[in-house]
Amino acid sequence: GAVVSQHPSRVICKSGTSVKIECRSLDFQATTMFWYRQFPKQSLMLMATSNEGSKATYEQGVEKDKFLINHASLTLSTLTVTSAHPEDSSFYICSARDRGTYYNEQFFGPGTRLTVL
Amino acid sequence: GEDVEQSLFLSVREGDSSVINCTYTDSSSTYLYWYKQEPGAGLQLLTYIFSNMDMKQDQRLTVLLNKKDKHLSLRIADTQTGDSAIYFCAEKSGGGSQGNLIFGKGTKLSVKP
């Protein structure tokens, strides 16, 4: 089946630094990628939808200047958390939509655990 | 707005059947999904059902859809300890093929030996 990878799987950084998370679709083309945030024992909250070659669409309440998303190719999207603070600590999950499936399945990456000290 | 509700916990004994229930609000949802999340991992699609279907069976998994009541359930037969995970129900918001997924909070399934 389709595979989505994320890198890094875990990152610890100091407050005020920026962190980049990569999301790759390994064996399919993804015109659309999604970035989610998951707090402990809570559901996934959609942060933004990223379409290849265009600006990301952010959900209400998500600061686009803080969470920079770049979707430069059909297999790669990046999320950069700028000037990270402890409250940004969370589990970030990306997914990629395989345009080849008739039910438009989203394939999820394994997630990135961000801890901001 | 769209909303998906699930019970938060379910505990069963190994070998029993598990039934996880979900209600949703968007009557225009074309597909409904069940995802499994193991600790520290991403989500794995278990199964999906098209909105014009009442039931779908895939090995140990049975999905029942009551579109009138907007109720979805996932039955796992002969539950194993490896089935312990969080199960998310999701609907595709809006009509068409480009809607986003709306997730429930997840049901934590604990399987006791």
Task: Report which DSSP code applies to B8.
Answer: S
At A16-69, the pLDDT tens digits run: 999 999 999 998 888 889 999 998 777 889 999 988 888 899 999 999 999 999
Pairing of strands A10-13, A112-116: parallel
Nearest chain A residue (CA) to B48: A103
Q: What is the helix, strand, coil percentage profile of chain B, to 5?
A: 5, 55, 40
* Neighbouring-strand partners of residue B22: B6, B72
At B25-82, the pLDDT tens digits run: 887 778 899 999 998 888 898 999 988 899 999 999 999 999 999 999 999 999 999 9
Share of chain A above pLDDT 70, in %: 94
* Neighbouring-strand partners of residue A7: A22
What is the Cα–Cα distance from A52 to A102, expressed in whole angstroms? 20
Per-residue pLDDT at B92 exceeds 60:
yes
Looking at residue B2, what is its pLDDT? 65
Instruction: Kindly state whether A11 is in contact with chain B, defined as any CB-CB distance less than 8 angstroms.
Output: no
Task: Name the residue among A4, A49, A111 with its Cβ closest to that of B100.
Answer: A49
Q: Which residues of B lie closer than 8 Å to A, measured between beta carbons?
A: 31, 35, 40-45, 48, 50, 88, 92, 97-98, 100-101, 103-106
3-state SS record for chain A: CCCEEEECCEEEECCCCCEEEEEEECCCCCCEEEEEEECCCCCEEEEEEEECCCCCEECCCCCCCCEEEEEEECCEEEEEECCCCHHHCEEEEEEEECCCCCCCCEEECCCEEEEEC
| Interface touch A43/B104, C-beta < 8 Å | yes
- Count how many residues are written for chain B: 113
Looking at residue A117, what is its pLDDT? 95
Residue given tokens 């979805």 in the structure block = B72
Nearest chain B residue (CA) to A90: B40
A4 within 8 A of A95, measured Cβ to Cβ: yes
